[in-house]
Chains A and B, each alone.
Chain A
Amino acid sequence: MAAADELTTMTAAEMAAAVAAGEVSAVELTRAHLDRIELTDVKVRAFLHVGAEPALAAARSVDERRAAGRPLGPLAGVPLALKDVFTTTDMPTTCGSKILAGWQPPYDATLTRRLRDAGVVILGKTNMDEFAMGSSTENSAFGPSRNPWDLNLVPGGSSGGSAAAVAAYQAPLAIGTDTGGSIRQPGAVCGIVGVKPTYGGSSRFGLVAFASSLDTPGPLTRTVLDAALLHEAISGHDPNDSTSLDAPVPPVVAAARNPDVAGLRVGVVAELSGDGYAPGVLTRFNETVELLETLGAKVTEVSCPHFTYALPAYYLIAPSECSSNLARFDAMRYGLRIGDDGVASAEEVMSLTRATGFGAEVKRRIMLGTYALSSGYYDAYYGKAQQVRTLIIRDFEAAFEQVDVLVSPTTPTTAFPIGERADDPMAMYLADLCTIPSDLAGNAAISVPCGLAPENGLPVGFQVMAPVLADDRLYRVAGAVEAALDARRGASFLAQARGLAGLDETAEAGR
């Protein structure tokens, strides 16, 4: 294996240790990843923008810091792929939308700023479903990303570019955002770890809003420990986000370093199983539950009767908030403007610009939200959905009186082919069936790889859900699963990714 390959296949924790020990410079590490992107992204299409110069400048400053004998943070010098929904002063921010194509934000998101302060090297901005609305990246105005396990399949979404970048060894770390499952679902179908922290645990300031009561930034990584390190780096109270929690960050790194489930009470959600779930997903899920039992966990089945109403409630609440949030794209202060001919009114220009600049899914959700919030229908739709949200929270509360964590498959199926659900919104929405309850309740959840579906050899994700601000429990369980499965395999999960082999050839772009 060439030296550059060795650099890109290390874990983030190993990379940071190597930089701190002077075994490799942050610049070398960054160059190796930029080369890897150059070689593979023609096929994977994970990035919308690669910022080689700002990345190398950030790496140089870490190397200078080390040379000067100043302390380095636990992720200093480690490269990261940032979802293109966070503002960055040195790279464009498009949200996967034509309406923001080329927009250069005048300020950094709090999360961007925290990454920079931690010495993390931002390589570029990753592809996503437009304004984070979707489960496949097919709603990106700039074309879909590809799943590194099989380039004909979707990488999931909306944070599909971030997940694909990590799975393709273009970056050991990525940031996504989870509104209905947009971190955990792409994590699951790309065979990596994805975490939705407790709502309010990570700042939304400078995160372009989709559904403000749900949007949660979080990590996508190849290992559970790397996720914990990134989780800790981005978390903590932010006075610029009024929904940011003023509470200590849960001890996620300590939990990831000492995963132990002995005596832990694990509840299997009865409602997240059965019809509509692929047999291979259920096989691997059930095996993992048995594995937890052999590791000393106490497993019981738990019923959360209102979870079956989570999907319809979500598709009222999220579009309602989106219809309000996306009103800011009015063609006046930033972004696209169409039809400003000196005659047309502001309102006409606005309507033309939004019709041209937004894609189909965004238009559907804006209209659906406008409908659900309109005076004649408010009580029957938005009001009812908010009550369902209360019932789902109560289901969680009752469950967490009996058990410490809940588990389910992350997604009902493995990755699906590009194009299969692209113009069938209801089929696409089903991808988030298991992930939505935690978003509505605002608690913490993780997806960790738990094996390959026997029928197609594609990765299956195991979801763990924990109460608000008990994020450390996610890492106890996921860390234990990862350690046991790695020991059984004798190799890391991604080492099995057959589709990755072809990425090393500079052949023509994927179909």
Chain B
Amino acid sequence: MSITRDEVAHLAKLSRLALTEDELDHFAGQLDVIIGAVARVQEVAAAGIPPTTHAANLENVYRDDVIAPPLDADLVLSQAPAAQAARFRVPRILTEE
């Protein structure tokens, strides 16, 4: 199993990472080695073995629906990259078309 530089470029796009050409070269080689190593899990005969998603194996954890004070809006917005009119200000989310 191996991964190509084009596949790594696609993964970077899916991961929302604007990588440089140099980074793509570097990571492509490293990811190829890592994927080759982790593929060893496929050697294990695991037909019929249930997957474990979680060590605690808890299901349907509920707590009482108690009203508690929320975080202070000014405090939260003070840590935002940009705020305007008591709201988070974000870059445009639509393209012109």
Contacts and interface: CB of A to CB of B under 8 A. Distances in A.
A371 B35 contact: yes
Interface in A366-402: 366-368, 370-372, 374, 380-381, 383-391, 393
A340 B81 contact: yes
Nearest to B93: A346
B91 to A, nearest CB: 4
Given A344-B91, A384-B46, A388-B46, A363 B27 contact: yes
A390 B13 CA distance: 33
B39 interface: yes
Interface stretch (A255-263, A331-339, A407-415, A451-459): A331-339
A371 B81 contact: no
Interface residues of B, number: 56
Nearest to A213: B54
Contact of B71 (A106, A327, A349, A380): A106
Interface in B21-49: 23, 26-27, 30-31, 33-35, 37-44, 46, 49
Contacts of A347: 16, 93
A355 B17 contact: yes
B81 A352 contact: no
A208 interface: no
Contacts of A332: 80-81, 88, 90
A364 B30 contact: yes
B46 A315 contact: no
Interface in B48-97: 49-56, 58, 61, 63, 71-72, 75-76, 78-82, 88, 90-93, 95
Given A315-B38, A354-B16, A386-B52, A364 B93 contact: no
B58 A242 contact: yes
Contacts of B54: 213, 243, 442
Contacts of A388: 41, 44, 46
Contact of B41 (A323, A327, A351, A385): A385
B90 A306 contact: no
B35 to A, nearest CB: 7
B91 A346 contact: yes
Interface in A283-332: 306, 309, 312-313, 315-316, 323, 327, 330-332
Contacts of B8: 367
A345 interface: yes
A333 B88 CA distance: 6
A349 B91 CA distance: 7
A366 B51 contact: no
Contacts of A371: 3, 7, 11, 31, 35
Contact of B55 (A336, A425, A441): A441
B81 A334 contact: yes
A390 B51 contact: yes
Interface string B1-12: 001000110011
Contacts of A367: 8, 11-12, 15, 17, 27, 31
B43 to A, nearest CB: 8
A231 B18 CA distance: 42
Contacts of B11: 367, 370-371
Instruction: Output the residue of B50, B55, B80, B92 with the most chain A CB within 10 A.
Output: B55
A469 B72 CA distance: 38
Contacts of B34: 315, 364, 368, 425-426
Contacts of A103: 79
B48 to A, nearest CB: 9
Given A306-B44, A349-B91, A363 B82 contact: no
A112 B38 CA distance: 36
B15 A366 contact: yes
Contact of A387 (B23, B51, B75, B79): B51
Contacts of A351: 13, 16-18
Contact of A380 (B12, B42, B72, B90): B42
A346 B53 contact: no
18 contacts: A107-B71, A213-B54, A242-B61, A312-B41, A334-B80, A340-B82, A340-B91, A345-B91, A347-B16, A347-B93, A371-B7, A381-B39, A385-B41, A387-B52, A390-B50, A391-B49, A426-B37, A442-B54
By Cβ-Cβ distance, the 5 closest A-B pairs, closest first, are: A442-B55, A386-B51, A337-B81, A387-B46, A351-B18
